[in-house]
Structure 1
Amino acid sequence: MRVKKPAQSAKQAAVRFLSRRDHAEQELQQKLLARGYEPGEVDEAVALCQDYNWLDDARFAERLLNNGIAKGWGLLRIRQEMEFKGIHEEVIRQLFEDDEFDWFEHARNVARKKYGDTPMETDKEKARRLRFMQSRGFDFEQVKNALGVDDEY
């Protein structure tokens, strides 16, 4: 099945996509290729957008980091989202290397918002809370600290 030739140029389509929201370079390339643009056209469109600073993986990654924190996600979940969006590993590594955010405090705030000050009275409740926090992308040390769990689980 052939994809019909798009009416507008790849550059116009790229600018239209970026006018709606930021994209990662790989994400924009995939969208343009899926719309039927030739790889050469896509490369030119991406290069144009980078030249004008409309497309910047570092800025996009920083925005994802801030949005993930606002959603109550942990470092692991945010990193996974960045990888899914196609942000280069080097950009991700650099962003988290420069990061001075207190992930332990963030985990405590997320747990407090979800559970308040209600105590964990059963092992089942403890396991449920641990699973919730881990599903949010917090590592085990952050989860134990946030929930006040001292024992080995």
Structure 2
Amino acid sequence: MRAVASSSPSVRNTPPETIVSVTDIRPHASIAAGVSVFARLPETDSPGRTRLVRFDLDREVLAGVQPPLDTSSRVTFGHLRMLARRSDHLFALPAAVELLSRRDHSEKELQRKLRSRGFSPGAIALALRRVQEQEYQSDDRFALSWTRYRMSGKGVSRTALLAGLARRGVDRETANRAVSAYEEENPDCFSRALRLALQALAGEEETTIVRKLARRGFDVVEIRRSLS
């Protein structure tokens, strides 16, 4: 039976007083200083059935538990979740690095994803500080990279770029800096973007074109000038 992480939304809200039975304690699959405690959790909607839940703990946290946990222990779900929360600092950083290895993230995106995995605010703050110190994460780098991606062969306005970065949690100053840096690299980028957007709407009535492009953040005066 595949184990469900204790931070998973499907089990996270289990009543803390629920009794679980420890079935296995083994070294963590990827973190030397960690251990995984497996326990069977009764399924409230299916009497007699259980789910296997994995609690990832710091070895030092586990060593301090009294009485010691073993494969005959019956403890509350809340007790094991508390131990897992005390171990958050050990696992939040690898989780952040793993997310960044897939693609670049803004600080807010990374914070949101770590929170969704059940990490505590303190562990998240520490992980973010570490990845920024090691230059694994940078909002300046993310904003410029994302701007380059969005502008690659697409008719995107400056306003739309800034709005997109804001939705990803990038502050206005950083977003403006990234868009300005891109514009320095590509001086006619927004004129070209408007031309691309106009080409995509070729054949439509002028009033429709103006309305659609204005909604996408292009300047109405520039739109009309390009149409004339």
TM-score by length of 2: 0.55
Pair 1:104-2:184 in alignment: no
Residue among 138, 146, 149 paired with 1:64: 146
Question: 2:214 aligns to what?
Answer: 134
How much identity, in percent, do the aligned residues show? 28
CA RMSD of aligned residues (A): 2.4
Question: 1:88 aligns to what?
Answer: 171
Question: 1:151 aligns to what?
Answer: none
* Pair 1:56–1:6, CA change in 2 (3 A): farther
Amino acid at match of 2:195: R
Number of aligned positions between the proteins: 141
Question: 1:9 aligns to what?
Answer: 91
* Pair 1:141–1:105, CA change in 2 (3 A): farther
Q: Give, in whole Å, the separation in 1 of the partners of 2:129 and 2:108.
A: 12
| Contact 2:162–2:176 (8 Å) recurs in 1 | no
| Max Rg structure | 2
Task: Describe the superposition over 1:27-84 as per-residue Cα deviations: whole angstroms up to 9, x where unpaired.
Answer: 1111111221011110111111112211111111111211221232111111100000
Structure number with the bigger relative contact order (C-alpha 8 A, sep ≥ 6) is: 1
Any stretches of 5+ residues in structure 2 without a counterpart? 1-8, 14-53, 57-89
* Pair 1:67–1:146, CA change in 2 (3 A): farther
Greater strand share, 1 or 2?
A: 2
Greater helix share, 1 or 2?
A: 1
| Contact 1:104–1:146 (8 Å) recurs in 2 | no
